[in-house]
């Protein structure tokens, strides 16, 4: 089954805000295997335009940072699942998603205790 995942980006990270993101990553999955990855630069940041694009591109899941309730509910209503408040670099986010453990509020940056452990 093909599944499309969209991540609003800020540089290589999840964009802190859905409404202000200027580019998005669309990853395509076939039976859980990543088969495509495209970065699309948006004409201008706009939550309305992004919602429109999400529906047009037949996105199944949006992984993002901050999103207003209005757009969150709208996407849910349109059967698009949203995992929000996710903080991290896009590769770590996709990696966590592929392992099946991504949830709302996940922070995927190394935090001080983790940094110390690595050192």
Residues that bind other proteins (CB under 8 A): 10, 13-20, 65-69, 72, 84-85, 87, 105, 107, 109-112, 114-115
Nearer to other proteins, 31 or 43 (CB): 43
Nearer to other proteins, 8 or 94 (CB): 8
Residue in 61, 59, 58, 5 with CA at minimum distance from that of residue 33: 5
CB of 42 to other proteins, least distance (A): 13
Nearer to other proteins, 74 or 97 (CB): 74
CB of 8 to other proteins, least distance (A): 11
Nearer to other proteins, 20 or 55 (CB): 20
As a whole number of angstroms, the distance between CA 29 and CA 9 comes to 19
Say if CB 8 and CB 82 are below 8 A apart.
Answer: no
Other CB atoms closer than 10 Å to residue 104's CB: what's the count? 10
CB of 108 to other proteins, least distance (A): 10
CB of 20 to other proteins, least distance (A): 5
Residue 59 β-bridge partners: none
As a whole number of angstroms, the distance between CA 32 and CA 63 comes to 16
Residue 90 burial (10 A CB sphere; 0-12, 13-18, 19+): buried
């Amino acid at each position: 089954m093909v599944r499309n995942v969209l991540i609003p980006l800020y540089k290589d990270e999840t964009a802190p805000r859905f409404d202000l993101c200027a580019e998005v990553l669309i990853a395509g999955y076939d039976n859980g295997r990543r088969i495509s990855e495209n970065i699309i630069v948006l004409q201008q940041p706009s939550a309305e335009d992004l919602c429109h694009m999400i529906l047009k591109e037949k996105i199944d899941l949006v992984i993002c940072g901050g999103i207003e309730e209005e757009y969150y509910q709208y996407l849910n209503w349109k059967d698009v699942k949203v995992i929000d408040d996710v903080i991290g670099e896009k590769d770590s986010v996709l990696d966590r998603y592929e392992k099946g453990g991504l949830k709302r509020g996940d922070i995927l940056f190394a935090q001080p205790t983790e940094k110390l452990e690595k050192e």
